[in-house]
Amino acid sequence: SITTLSALHQGVPLTVGTSLGVHLHDFRMRAMASRDIVERLDVIQWDESNVFKMIFDNKPLPPYASLSQPTPISILHLPQPGSHNLVSDDIYVAGRFSNILHYDRRKFPAIEGSIYSGALIKSLAALPY
């Protein structure tokens, strides 16, 4: 289930926090649904061969960062220095765990670092400097 969403910025993928991890969703990419899948919604009979084909599909899933402790609550795209309208590649995630996780969008899903807070942080905000 979705627990948090990042703020929406032009030209930057949306960061989605779920109970299992952190995902990047690039809303600029079109969904690639085949015609067969769309038409199957109107069919009453269920074709089991297609179900198993979809389960064992060899297309890779988009990369996501799994979390050892669940439930991120806040996601922050850090603004670029001197400009609050442009965002950098830094993503900070906080939640029901005692660290603030730092990701770089260019190297996602690898963790760049973490900041130990010792608390369950419910919200993140960036102050202009």
Q: What's the structural domain count of the chain?
A: 1
User: Has residue 108 been placed in a domain?
Assistant: yes
User: Has residue 87 been placed in a domain?
Assistant: yes
User: Has residue 88 been placed in a domain?
Assistant: yes
User: Has residue 16 been placed in a domain?
Assistant: yes
Nearest CA among 23, 17, 12, 26 for reference residue 121? 17
Q: What is the pLDDT of residue 101?
A: 92
Q: Which residues contact 117 (CB under 8 A, 6 or more apart)?
A: 94, 98, 99, 100
User: Has residue 58 been placed in a domain?
Assistant: no
User: Has residue 9 been placed in a domain?
Assistant: yes
Q: What is the pLDDT of residue 109?
A: 87
Q: Could you count the other beta carbons within 10 Å of the beta carbon of residue 70? A: 15
User: Has residue 90 been placed in a domain?
Assistant: yes
User: Has residue 80 been placed in a domain?
Assistant: yes
The model's pTM = 0.72
Segments forming the whole domain that contains residue 76 = 2-28+65-116
Instruction: pLDDT tens for the chain, 129 residues: list them.
Output: 889 988 888 888 888 898 888 988 877 666 555 555 555 545 555 555 565 565 566 665 677 788 877 789 999 988 888 777 788 889 999 998 889 999 998 888 889 999 998 888 889 988 876
